[in-house]
Amino acid sequence: MSEFAANKALELRGMQVLKGLLDRDAQERMVEELRHVIRAAPLFSPVTQSGKIMSVRMTSAGRFGWISDRNGYRYSETHPDGMPWPEMPPLVSRVWDTVSGCARTPECCLINFYGESARMGMHQDIDEVDFSAPVVSISLGDDALFRVGNEARGGRTESIWLTSGDVVVMGGASRRLFHGVDRVKHGSSTLLPRAGRINVTLRVVT
């Protein structure tokens, strides 16, 4: 029997939304694991190719991390400061094993931190090679308004509020959909002492 149990499973344009998959105890343990990662590989502010600083701060664990600078968006085996990424947190890996339905092991654990005014514009996760593997997204902390679009920019979109402990599985046809975070409801969760949202995404890269 799995240690995780969703309160409710929803479907959003082919994405599985597992509401409350992580209970409070699991959330607190995962945050502690992520703190170890951040101490070894500090959060940094990515820069777009045009030189704009993104509002989300990030770091990674696993074989690869995702980075962005004037040279473009890409995966790298080292942090921008030069050190290798820390090992994948065990509890995060167990979430993948439980919900992904994928025999492969994730190679990147991307950790995004959203402060009070942070957001994530509509984008596709297309820097990976194997699109048969899903992207698994874990929400911790403050509520976030998650928006999902289409395989091309524009057109009608749908949104859902993600709360702490929710997990989204983006697989199959939904793997290529544009998606983003329009806003975060600052202070809506007590998980993090100073509020904010952590989003953890697991990906197969190669």
The CATH number given to whatever domain includes residue 18 is 2.60.120.590
Q: Within a domain: residue 82?
A: yes
What does DSSP assign to residue 7? S
User: What is the C-alpha to C-alpha distance for residues 139 and 164, in angstroms, rounded to an integer?
Assistant: 5
pTM greater than 0.85 (yes/no): yes
**CB under 8 Å, gap of 24 or more: what pairs does 80-85 form?**
80/44, 81/41, 81/42, 81/44, 83/40, 83/41, 85/41, 85/59, 85/60, 85/61
Number of domains in the chain: 1
Look at residue 3 and tell me whether its pLDDT is greater than 60.
yes
**Band of residue 127 on the pLDDT scale cut at 50, 70, 90:** confident
Look at residue 1 and tell me whether its pLDDT is greater than 70.
no
Range of the domain at 107: 8-203
Q: How many Cβ atoms sit within 10 Å of the Cβ of residue 30?
A: 23
Q: Within a domain: residue 3?
A: no
Contact 30, 89 (CB under 8 A): yes
pLDDT in tens, 36-88: 999 999 999 988 888 889 999 999 999 999 998 888 789 999 999 999 999 99
**Tokens, residue 193:** 């002492």
Q: Within a domain: residue 2?
A: no
Look at residue 150 and tell me whether its pLDDT is greater than 70.
yes
